[in-house]
């Protein structure tokens, strides 16, 4: 396996004696070869291919894991993983969890949800067939439930509306467990307008809120790595795919490949929504209609 160099994120040299970390010397940085070895051993242990991640993202997480378990060098850390056995498996899962930046909020980038509720979902519902929506990299489910709520509202404005379902997937098992429960702290609901809060949640305990059953019934969560071709096995399945704030961790070739793969999962005329700092670049550029580039809303041509 050959590491793809990303011009914006060069892999650091092996040693950087001039830099200090806290009171002690900075731990040696991973070389390109170390990172390739890490991707290979993590693939062997987890069955998850992390090749598309930006080298500097992997570098930071590797150093953080080394610090946490008191590993003196990337070579020593990798040797632990390569030794195999239950401890290596556990550490591999910790590494994967450390890659997951779970930051999310309900109705993140509210203008996007306004556009979905006012134009995209009404247009999709008017097609009359059951709608399938996918929230890829859904973290703890805030985006998935926000999509379900917005779609439910749009459907409620019509005399007759087809059914719909929203699938949330993520690599982070811990985040998915929380997503499945649909229970959130009052802090997580900050920023959700009062009237929406009343239509979306019920209080279950002091400062704890649960998504209402009729919305939970529309939503399902599954483990899945978007970089794994098996995730995209069912072509032309979805009417809308939201894959937001995940591409930023990937190098450019992996971003292009992922956008092409997501496009294949869309039915003709289906929509793709990216995060506010992500964009359709390179090979997929001409293959998608740029419906609202500022809001990162794209469409697969009919
Ligand atoms: C910053 S959160 C974004 C959550 C939500 N989409 C949003 O925009 O608020 C990124 C999520 O992507 C997930 N993720 C990262 N790499 C992934 C991959 N290869 N496959 C599936 N999920 C991934 C992380 O576990 C994390 O939950």
**Cα 137 to ligand 1 centre (Å):** 3
CA of 15 to the centre of ligand 1 (A): 31
Residue 69 has pLDDT above 80, yes or no: yes
Distance 244 CA to ligand 1 centre (A): 8
Q: Which atom of ligand 1 is nearest to the CA of 105?
A: 9
Distance 36 CA to ligand 1 centre (A): 22
What is the pLDDT confidence band of residue 25, given thresholds at 50, 70 and 90?
low
The residues, any chain, with a CB within 8 Å of residue 194's CB and separated by 6 or more, are none
Q: What is the pLDDT of residue 126?
A: 95
For ligand 1, pick from 137, 147, 232 the residue to mutate: most ligand atoms within 8 Å of CB.
137
- Averaged confidence pLDDT in the chain: 89
Q: For ligand 1, which residues put their CB under 6 angstroms from it?
A: 100-104, 108, 137-139, 143, 170-172, 175, 225-227, 244-246, 275
Q: What is the pLDDT of residues 157-214, one digit of tens each?
A: 988 889 999 999 998 888 999 999 999 999 999 989 999 999 999 999 999 999 999 9
> Residue 11: which pLDDT band, with cuts at 50, 70 and 90?
very low
pLDDT in tens, 38-57: 999 998 998 778 888 899 99
Give the predicted TM-score (pTM) of the model: 0.84
pLDDT digits (tens, 9 = 90+) for 121-159: 999 999 999 999 999 999 999 999 999 999 999 999 988
Domains located in the chain, CATH noted: 20-99 (1.10.155.10), 110-299 (3.40.50.150)
**Which residues 6+ apart lie within 8 Å of 50 measured at CB?**
38, 39, 42, 43, 58, 99, 227
């Amino acid at each position: 396996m050959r590491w793809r160099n990303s011009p914006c994120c060069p892999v650091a040299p092996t040693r950087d004696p001039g830099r200090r970390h806290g009171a002690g010397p900075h731990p040696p940085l991973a070389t390109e070869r170390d990172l390739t070895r890490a991707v290979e051993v993590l693939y062997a242990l987890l069955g998850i291919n992390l090749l598309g991640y930006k080298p500097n993202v992997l570098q930071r997480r590797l150093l953080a894991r080394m610090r946490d378990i008191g590993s003196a060098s990337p070579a020593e850390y990798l040797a632990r993983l390569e030794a195999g056995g239950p401890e290596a498996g556990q550490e591999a899962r910790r590494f994967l969890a450390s890659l997951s930046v779970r930051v999310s909020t309900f109705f993140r980038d509210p203008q996007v949800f306004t556009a979905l509720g006012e134009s995209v979902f009404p247009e999709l519902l008017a097609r009359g067939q059951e709608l399938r929506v996918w929230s890829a990299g859904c973290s703890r489910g805030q985006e998935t439930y926000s999509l379900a709520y917005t779609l439910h509202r749009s459907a409620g404005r019509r005399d007759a509306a087809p059914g719909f379902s929203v699938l949330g997937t993520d690599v982070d098992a811990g985040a998915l467990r929380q997503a499945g429960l649909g229970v959130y702290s009052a802090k997580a609901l900050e920023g959700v307008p009062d009237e929406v809060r009343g239509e979306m949640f019920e209080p279950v305990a002091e400062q704890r809120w649960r998504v209402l059953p009729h919305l939970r019934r529309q939503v399902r969560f599954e483990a899945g790595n978007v970089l794994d071709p098996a995730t995209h096995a069912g072509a032309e399945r979805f009417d809308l795919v939201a894959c937001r704030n995940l591409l930023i961790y990937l190098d450019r070739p992996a971003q292009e490949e992922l956008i092409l793969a997501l496009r294949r999962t869309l039915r003709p005329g289906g929509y793709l929504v990216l995060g506010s700092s992500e964009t359709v670049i390179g090979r997929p550029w001409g293959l998608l209609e740029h419906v609202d580039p500022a809001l990162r809303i794209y469409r697969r041509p009919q």
